[in-house]
Each structure stands twice: as structure tokens, then as C-alpha cells.
């Protein structure tokens, strides 16, 4: 079982719709969860972080975390063509004295005009 | 400007010819990491460093070496590159304990023939 799993997609939504991206993780000691956006050929950029159960909203983005179900999601409201990218879920867990960030393989999102 | 730089950005080389990819950050970050990104596999950590002279293996360290002689620099060394090391490589840094956002370099696309 992969440590962090995402549906690879591609996921297509029409402009203005809500895009829902999902991620599950295997290690219950994981403490911090992140969503990165990566445009083709570019480096990942952090768009959301979440540390406790529930929802966290930032503009059009909402991250949701359920530690009991080991599930984290990202909702993008009013999707725009500029949101078309690959979205990477990342889980940060403590390994000894260090923190390791483990990434999922990403979900490719296309927002259709 | 706070940034992580990598050089070169693109490299085509032949099997067995030693190469070094440099990484430098100007944010005084303690933690630095190297990742490789391959289609369908997401970002996988190669090595990480918690501070000067402190390095440890990530998930896919075979065939790679690193060093951390200065806080700002974290070069990735391929002593004898092979075609299966053809990939997109990212260097990243973050402040350390309690700080979770990783800053990524622009990436180095390596092709080994």
C-alpha cells in the first residue's frame, strides 16, 4: 500500500464548477497535511496546509481533514481554467528527529472553459 | 528575493560520466532535500539534510550521494549515472522543526543515454 494515495485522474470539470480532489494516507502518526499545485514543467507550490480535523478555507480553496478515516481532500470552488494543473497531496510525519514529507502521485485537473 | 536555485536546469549526459547538480538557498533554512519526479510515481525523496554535515537517506537513495558542507548548499552527486536515473529533479528547503512549508527549486531535467 502506498503511503499517500491519490486518484491520478485526469479530472475534468467545467469552468465555475467545484473540483474535488481526494487523498488517503496510511500512517496514523502523520501530523501535517499539504496540497501543492504543479503546473506542467514547473516546481510544486504550496496552496494549502491543514493540521487538525475539519475544514480550512482560503479563498476559493477548502482543505478537509479526517484523521480517523485517514483522509484529506481539497475543494476548489468556482474553478477557473488557470486552476488546470496537477495537485499533489503531501503528508509530513516525524521520523526519528526529522520530518519527512511524502507525496502522492498527483491528480491532474483540467478546467474546461 | 527568497529562493532555491538549481544548476544546471537541463543536462544530457552519457552512462557512467560523473555529474553534480548544485542546489543553493538564501533563506538560512536548516532542512534541505532532493526529490526526483517520474510520471505516475510522483515526487520521491532521494536524500535529506537536517543541518550542516547531517544527511540521511530518503526513499530512493541508490546511485546518489549528497554533501552538506555549508548551510546554503546541498549538491546532488551521481557518481556513475545510468539511464534509469533519467528524471526531473527538485531541490527543496524549509526552516526546520515547526515550519512545514517547503520551498522548491525550479527543477533539473536530467537525461542519461
- Distance in Å, alpha carbon of B34 to nearest chain A alpha carbon: 11
A61-69 own/partner pairs: CB under 8 Å, 24+ apart: A61/A35, A63/A33, A63/A35, A65/A33, A67/A28, A69/A24
Q: Which 8-state DSSP code applies to residue A18?
A: P
A97/B106 Cβ within 8 A: no
Which pLDDT band holds residue A1 (cuts at 50, 70, 90)? low
pLDDT in tens, B44-77: 999 999 899 999 999 899 999 999 999 999 999 9
Residues of B in contact with A25 (CB under 8 A): none
The dihedral over CA atoms of B54, B77, B32, A6, expressed in degrees to the nearest 10, equals: -120
- Distance (Å, rounded) from C-alpha B38 to C-alpha B110? 11
Residues of B in contact with A49 (CB under 8 A): 100-101
pLDDT in tens, A56-109: 999 999 999 999 999 999 999 999 999 999 999 999 877 666 667 889 999 999
A46/B102 Cβ within 8 A: yes
Q: What is the mean pLDDT of residues B16-21?
A: 97
pLDDT in tens, B30-48: 999 999 999 888 899 999 9
pLDDT score at A93: 73
B101/A49 Cβ within 8 A: yes
CB atoms within 10 A of CB A6: 22
A34/B104 Cβ within 8 A: no
- Distance (Å, rounded) from C-alpha B89 to C-alpha B22? 11
pLDDT in tens, A18-52: 999 999 999 888 888 999 999 998 999 999 999 99
Instruction: Quickly list H helices, A1-113.
Output: none
pLDDT score at A41: 87
Which pLDDT band holds residue A17 (cuts at 50, 70, 90)? very high
pLDDT score at A9: 79
Task: Give the angle subtended at the CA of A48 by the CAs of A79 and A2, to the nearest 5°.
Answer: 100
- Distance in Å, alpha carbon of B101 to nearest chain A alpha carbon: 7
B90/A97 Cβ within 8 A: no
Q: Which residues of B42-60 are buried (b: 16+ CB within 10 A; e: fewer)?
A: bbbbbbbbbeeeebbebeb
CB atoms within 10 A of CB B71: 15
Q: Among A95, A94, A48, A54, which residue's Cα sits nearest to residue A71?
A: A54
pLDDT score at A7: 84
Does A42 contact chain B (CB < 8 Å)?
yes
Does A100 contact chain B (CB < 8 Å)?
yes
Q: Which of B43, B51, B101, B103 to mutate to probe the A interface, most A CBs <10 Å?
A: B43
Q: What is the mean pLDDT of residues B17-31?
A: 95
Q: What is the mean pLDDT of residues B94-111?
A: 83
Q: What is the mean pLDDT of residues B79-106?
A: 88
pLDDT score at B99: 52
Chain A residue with Cα closest to B55: A98
Q: Which 8-state DSSP code applies to residue A41?
A: T
pLDDT score at A3: 86
pLDDT score at A92: 83
- Distance in Å, alpha carbon of B59 to nearest chain A alpha carbon: 9
When the pLDDT of each residue in chain A is averaged and rounded to a whole number, the result is 91
Amino acid at each position: 500500500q502506498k503511503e499517500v494515495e491519490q486518484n491520478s485522474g485526469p479530472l475534468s470539470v467545467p469552468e465555475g464548477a467545484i473540483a474535488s480532489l481526494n487523498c488517503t494516507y496510511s500512517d496514523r502518526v502523520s501530523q501535517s497535511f499539504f496540497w501543492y499545485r504543479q503546473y506542467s514543467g514547473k516546481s510544486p507550490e504550496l496552496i494549502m496546509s491543514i493540521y487538525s480535523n475539519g475544514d480550512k478555507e482560503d479563498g476559493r480553496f477548502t482543505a478537509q481533514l479526517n484523521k480517523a478515516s485517514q483522509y484529506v481532500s481539497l475543494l476548489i470552488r468556482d474553478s477557473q481554467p488557470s486552476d488546470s494543473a496537477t495537485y499533489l497531496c503531501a503528508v509530513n510525519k516525524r521520523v526519528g528527529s526529522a520530518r519527512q514529507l511524502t507525496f502522492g502521485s498527483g491528480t491532474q485537473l483540467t478546467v474546461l472553459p | 528575493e527568497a529562493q532555491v536555485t538549481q544548476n544546471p536546469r537541463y543536462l544530457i549526459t552519457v552512462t557512467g560520466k560523473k555529474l553534480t547538480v548544485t542546489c543553493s538557498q538564501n533563506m538560512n533554512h536548516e532542512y534541505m532535500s532532493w526529490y526526483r519526479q517520474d510520471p505516475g510515481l510522483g515526487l520521491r525523496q532521494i536524500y535529506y539534510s537536517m543541518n550542516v554535515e547531517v544527511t540521511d537517506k530518503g526513499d530512493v537513495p541508490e546511485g546518489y550521494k549528497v554533501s552538506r558542507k555549508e548551510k546554503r548548499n546541498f549538491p546532488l552527486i551521481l557518481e556513475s549515472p545510468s539511464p534509469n536515473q533519467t528524471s526531473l529533479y527538485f531541490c527543496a528547503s524549509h526552516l526546520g522543526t515547526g515550519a512545514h512549508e517547503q520551498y522548491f527549486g525550479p527543477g533539473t531535467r536530467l537525461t542519461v543515454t
